[in-house]
A and B are shown apart, each in its own frame.
Chain A
């Protein structure tokens, strides 16, 4: 009788451990999803590949920017109006606050490549207070009209149309691309919200720097469970 009692007591503990383990696992999964110790930006789609020309007349390709972060914008030297992206302001913001140790490139692609030659772009940068001493390099790119339309239209999904008076109609936006060439965020408007932009750059940068070994599993789990910032 005593032997039976001891046996059933031990069975109870085995069962407790077994089912307890399962419950613990389920709680861990739910807790990860609820508390989100790791937050990531979604991998939206591939950024387009290109070989364009910068304001120094040199070729800049999408491959040259691999390994670092890139913030793309779209404008042109004759752009006038509220919808024109305030690029100097964005550069100033990023120069003031170091939110990443990775190289961060600001890349503006001209929507008016036929007018915007490298010399015109160089002049524009100088006139608009481009600070060449900043940590974050700013590239203003031009190139073949067809290629630009392919990259901007097909690649970044931005529609633009010449209005005939030197002005171009377009919806301003900024696009954040990570070091693997994946688009991670879109910011619509001529000025991205500074706090959100800085937060997102920090998140993508942290993921790139920390996603190794066991912590990589945590980041992939964050992607799997859609642990995106609100």
Chain B
């Protein structure tokens, strides 16, 4: 008695296998050729970010050009921020954790304080250290901070509150992603996850 396979004409089998292989190759080719779909808002005409200068929580004066060669994620917040800032920093921590050590070395997360009055360098260092020791806090005079914040679409406004910590600051809560050449490439809105950021960072780091 013939096995079921042997009942099928040889040409049919070859054609079926050929079709499957062809489909698989097509899927793989399309996957390879399709550009990566970045999460967040993609800047189609990337512009260079201005080379603003601030003071790091280490006490050093730093300029944006100091981070050339790294992908920079820059967030504007403050340590007394009750919810939005720690949530965003957690996602940034998660994004870094999902990268390989070699990739992590090519990424720098910066948090610029919108509250230089209360956010001392020591406070910034302690706050950011809870998320990731490589995260760098930046501070400066109110003028220096506004020069950094405004072109990146960041609005901020102080509100006198009744909380124990005093006033609160309403602010835009986006994360700007700057590529290795200093160009603004992406802007993540508040609900972007660490996984999504890591997905994009793997591509940008490899450029």
- Determine the chain A residues whose CB is within 8 A of the CB of B15 once the complex forms: 7, 10-11, 14
Report the minimum CB–CB distance from A163 to chain B (whole Å).
24
Main secondary structure of the interface of A (DSSP, over half): helix
Q: In which size bucket is the chain B interface?
A: 35 or more
Complex: how many Å from CA A62 to CA B186? 19
B45 touching A42, Cβ below 8 Å: yes
Complex: how many Å from CA A44 to CA B41? 11
Main secondary structure of the interface of B (DSSP, over half): mixed
Report the minimum CB–CB distance from A111 to chain B (whole Å).
16
- Determine the chain A residues whose CB is within 8 A of the CB of B14 once the complex forms: 11
Q: Count of A-B contacts with CB under 8 A?
A: 101
Nearest A-chain residue to B157, judged by Cβ:
A51
Partner of A62, one of B9, B35, B153: B153
Report the minimum CB–CB distance from B146 to chain A (whole Å).
5
The verdict on A182 contacting chain B, using a C-beta distance below 8 Å, is yes
Nearest A-chain residue to B189, judged by Cβ:
A180
A43 touching B45, Cβ below 8 Å: yes
Complex: how many Å from CA A78 to CA B95? 51
Told that A18-B26, A45-B43, A49-B172 touch, could you supply 8 new A-B pairs with CB distance under 8 A? A14-B19, A18-B23, A21-B26, A22-B26, A44-B44, A48-B151, A49-B150, A182-B43
- Residues of chain B touching chain A, judged by Cβ–Cβ distance below 8 Å, are 9-12, 14-15, 18-19, 22-23, 26, 35, 37, 41-47, 50, 143, 146-147, 149-157, 170, 172, 176, 184, 187
The 7 closest A-B pairs by CB, nearest first: A7-B11, A49-B155, A46-B153, A48-B150, A49-B154, A51-B157, A45-B47
